[in-house]
Structure 1
Amino acid sequence: MKGFYTGILALVLAGGCQAKEPPTQVVYRFDDHRYLELKGWDCEGELWYTDTKRGIHTEPASQFYRIFTKRFIHPSEKYIAITNWGADGFIVSKDYGQTWSDALYSPSGNEPNGDNHGPYEDVLSFTVINDQGFLQTKHRLYMSSRPFDDPRVLPGGSGIHYELPDGVKGDITPQFPGPAWGLDYITKEALVNDTAKYHTNYQDLPDKVPEVKGYTGWDHMRCDMDAGRK
């Protein structure tokens, strides 16, 4: 009987009763050759990045991605940063979208209550320009470092010696350099009490989101909840 039921199942599958393939839709366009696609039901699923000029097609998120619904402006090409519905972290690429890694908020508390990031309802916009990311909230500006690593903490570098106002001295070494550029988001308020401020790529950071001119991409992500059901 086992073989009989196996045969029936095969006939059912062959007859077209398989689960329907999840829909794929473009949810963001950076420009005329770069875009993001979401594959999944109810605007949640796999996230794919495509650059037709460079021949890049990669998968920043393999499942559970939900679109970021606030203002999103992204003219930057080398450094690509994407956040999600909760804006609780970032998926970033530093090589035009060929490879991806996670970026988080800095370890020190950025919010007055000690949290690392504000609630989603406080988020106003996310802008990625000149290979830097800027998440603006009602009360804070979170940003990644300037787009290079301090050569003193790269392999073979001299390291960074520092002395705190209370007299405590320390060294940041190439063996323990801290986060690489673009892989953490911090506020200038929190940077005051963070040794990252001694890195050259955390110095002279702006006080506001840089102005974006001539941007032709979308200013929000878009997603049809009914995709695949029509």
Structure 2
Amino acid sequence: MLILISYLLLSLALFLFCFFKRWHLFCWLSYSVFLICFLAIIPLPGEDKVKYTAPTQVVFRFDEHRFIQLTGYGCQGRMYYVDDQKQIYYELARHSAKVLTEPFAHMPEDYIFVPLSDYSAIDVSQDGGRSFRTIHIETYEGMGSYQPTYNTIENIIVMNNQFFLKDKNRSIYRSPKPYGTRSAIISATSEKSFEGSIRYMGLRWTDQPQTMPIMPANYTGWQRWQCDPSLKQSITVYNRYAPLIKLQAQLRHLLGVTDEVKHEKETN
């Protein structure tokens, strides 16, 4: 470092001497040497920075190609349905979506059911995830109403394009068999209240189950949603002065200086 300081002072003195003597050629040469020495000695911000952004993680997997993805902190944020084989990427919620905590198994079929975490609504697709619409669990029960919550729901199964939900207080809720465009999710109690209604009559509502269906042995999806609330996703912001630092090292080598400059941390 002392050698560089000596070069710097010597070139500055030579520049001033040539300037007053009006030796223009030597003036420019000494000034160039001064700039080279100055660049070789000046400390530059020399560290890459690590910043953190909202992490993205798979919170539920239907199979190898189909899954639900969440981007956000603390297992809450923007949610997508993804089928990377068919190149489907559908935004289910722009913000504030939360993962389900109850047992949940879903066969990879054309009908897709994604409940909100408070079960106030369910996003449903009938075309393999290319589009979704929102339906609600039927709460009317003749003389009153009842709404399942995460405290009363025991488990959820979706198979044969039907949605089944077991509630501690109302047994099994289900959606109709998968033909036709109209859809709803009702309990056995609600079905009795709606007997005679055209909306709930027909083959779509036959065979009320007494027990929850069992997932087939070839099911490869998850049995629960999974999420790491402490996950952080880091990105490296590379040092913008890296080319100058490389040039500085070459200049120092050219000047015969072996000790390194201690670069400062970039603060912004």
Structure 2 residue corresponding to 1:223, chosen from 213, 220, 227: 227
Give 3-state SS (helix, strand or coil) of 2:230's partner: coil
2:66 and 2:108 in contact (8 A); partners too: no
State the Cα deviation string for residues 12-52 of structure 1 (Å, max 9, x = none).
xxxx99x9531111111111111111011111111111112
Q: 2:165 aligns with which of 135, 153, 167?
A: 135
How far the C-alpha of 1:229 sits from its partner, in A, is 6.5
Aligned to 2:202: 199
Local SS of the residue matching 1:91: strand
Q: Which has the higher contact order (CA 8 A, sep 6+)?
A: 2
Q: Which amino acid aligns with 2:124?
A: V
**What is the TM-score with the length of structure 1 in the denominator?**
0.72
- Unpaired runs of 5+ residues, structure 1, are 1-15, 150-179
1:119 is displaced (CA, Å) by 3.1
Identity in percent: 28
Measured after TM superposition, the shift of residue 199 of structure 1 is 3.2
Counterpart selection for 1:212 from 211, 215, 222: 215
**For 1:148, which of 179, 187, 200 is the aligned residue?**
179
SS state at 2:119 partner: coil
Do residues 125 (structure 1) and 160 (structure 2) align? no
State the match for 1:95 in structure 2.
127
Task: Report deviation, 1:107.
Answer: 5.3
Shift of 1:197: 3.2
Secondary structure, counterpart of 1:126 in structure 2: strand
Aligned residue for 1:59, secondary structure, equals: strand
Is contact 2:141–2:189 with CA below 8 Å preserved after alignment? no
Equivalent in the alignment of 1:7: none
Secondary structure, aligned partner of 1:35: strand
Query: Partner residue of 2:140?
Result: 108
Alignment partner of 1:54 is 2:57: no
Q: Which amino acid is the alignment partner of residue 42 of structure 1?
A: G
Which of the two has higher C-alpha Rg?
Answer: 2
The structure richer in helix per residue is 2
Residues 76 and 130 in structure 1, CA contact (< 8 A), matched pair in contact too:
no
Alpha-carbon distance in 2 for matches of 1:101, 1:93: 7
SS of 1:192's equivalent in the other structure is helix
Letter in 2 for 1:205: Q
Shift of 1:207: 2.5
> Higher strand fraction: Structure 1 or Structure 2?
1
The number of equivalent residue pairs is: 181
Amino acid corresponding to residue 120 of structure 1 in structure 2: Y
Q: Distance in 1 between matches of 2:139 and 2:222?
A: 32
| Alignment match, 1:79 | 111
Structure 2 Cα separation of the partners of residues 207 and 103 of structure 1: 24
Partners of 2:59 and 2:156 in 1: how far apart?
16
Provide the aligned C-alpha RMSD in A. 2.3
